[in-house]
Amino acid sequence: MELSKFVKNRRKALGMTQKELSLKAGVGLRFVRELERGKETLQMNKVNQVLSLFGYVVGPTKIEYHEES
């Protein structure tokens, strides 16, 4: 699942607005909006501030390569 969808789904599951999430995570509302839109250039420490509210952090993920047929 994409990070943007993950954050949006978790936020909604907890019944939080973007503004509430930004306040609880200690980041700006603009940052939350950009994160949920899938902006490609975000500060990792801020991403982890948001994810930590859900019990997660960003970490390395193995890339699976598939051969084309």
Residue 69 included in any domain: no
Specify the pLDDT at position 61: 83
Residue 37 included in any domain: yes
Question: What CATH number does residue 39 fall under?
Answer: 1.10.260.40
Residue 25 included in any domain: yes
- How many structural domains is the chain composed of? 1
Range of weakest confidence among 48-52, 56-60, 61-65: 61-65
Residue 36 included in any domain: yes
Q: Which domain holds residue 45?
A: 3-52
Q: What is the mean pLDDT of the chain?
A: 93
User: Under a CB-based contact definition with an 8 Å cutoff, are residues 36 and 17 in contact?
Assistant: no
Residue 34 included in any domain: yes
**Average pLDDT of 17-40?**
97
In this structure, which long-range contacts are made by residues 20-25, counting pairs with CB atoms below 8 Å and at least 24 apart in sequence? 21/50, 21/53, 24/53, 25/49, 25/50, 25/52, 25/53
Percent of the chain with pLDDT over 70: 99
Check whether 29 has a pLDDT greater than 90: yes
**Average pLDDT of 57-64?**
88
